[in-house]
Amino acid sequence: MKRFVLLSAVISLSVLSACTTNSSTAPSFDDVLISRRSIRAYEPGREIPEAQLQELFKATQNAPSWANFQPTKYYAAVSKEAREAVLDLIGGNKNSAVNASVLLISTFERGKSGFFQGQQTNELAEEWGAHDNGLSNAYLILKARAMGFDTLIMGMRDSDGLRAQFNIPENETITAVIALGYRAEEPRDPVHKPLDEFVKFF
């Protein structure tokens, strides 16, 4: 009986220790928000396993979208050749993303978000697709930070070149290229506006 009690106590302590270790290593949501920065220097030669990329993309599917249409699409340049092709099409951002592990092309399908039975439902129309795409990208960069990765959303890109290189359909609007990798340096903390400049309470 004593041996059973002792064994049970050891198992309980082991489980408790494991739970404590896991919770202490996982960043809090506030930590993710605070540490997420636009990173412009990445560690060279570091790859991200496909299983982790799949985990990252699955997280984006939880982002809200118009009628759950999920219009956002991603084209992941993982191989060296594919990354080099993207780097040649992002202009002045090339030096910032040159060592990124993956380069993602983010798009959204037009004619879905902002429409009901084929008719636009408000003055934003197709712009709602960009809204949904932005939400998906936000989930992606926050999940990436929670997983220990870093990102840079880039708007400077040759959309025609990217479309041709990666066979992106004409009914998709290319919004951004997102660098994904491991930060090589710590970024500066940005200065934020005071709340009363962008929030109004009534």
Q: Which CATH superfamily is 48-185 part of?
A: NADH Oxidase (3.40.109.10)
pLDDT score for 16:
33
Which residues have CB under 8 Å from 145's CB, separation 6+?
27, 32, 35, 36, 151
d(CA 86, CA 103): 7
Pairwise CA distance, residues 154 & 164, whole Å: 19
Radius of gyration of the chain (CA): 21
**pLDDT, averaged across the chain:** 89
* Spatial distance between the Cα atoms of 27 and 41, rounded to a whole number of angstroms: 22
Classified as helix, coil or strand, 129 is: helix
Task: Give the predicted TM-score (pTM) of the model.
Answer: 0.85
Q: What is the mean pLDDT of residues 58-67?
A: 96
- Name the phi and psi angles at 93, rounded to 5: -85, -5
- Cβ neighbour number for residue 178 with a 10 Å cutoff: 22
Helix axes 50-60, 127-146, angle to 10 degrees: 130
pLDDT for the residue 1: 41
Top pLDDT among 8 and 38 is at 38
Quote the Cα angle for 102-165-107, to 5°.
Answer: 65
How do residues 107-150 score in pLDDT, each as one tens digit? 999 999 999 988 899 999 889 999 999 999 999 999 999 999 99
pLDDT in tens, 63-109: 999 999 999 999 999 999 999 999 999 999 999 999 999 999 999 99
Whether residue 2 is predicted with pLDDT greater than 80 in this model: the reply is no
Question: Which residues are within 8 A (CB) of 101 and not within 5 positions of it... i.e. 6 or more apart?
Answer: 42, 46, 47, 48, 149, 180, 181, 182
Q: Indicate whether 22 pLDDT > 70.
A: no
Residue range 141-176, pLDDT digits in tens: 999 999 999 999 999 999 999 999 999 999 999 999
Distance from C-alpha of 139 to C-alpha of 74, rounded to nearest angstrom:
13
Strand partners, 74: 106
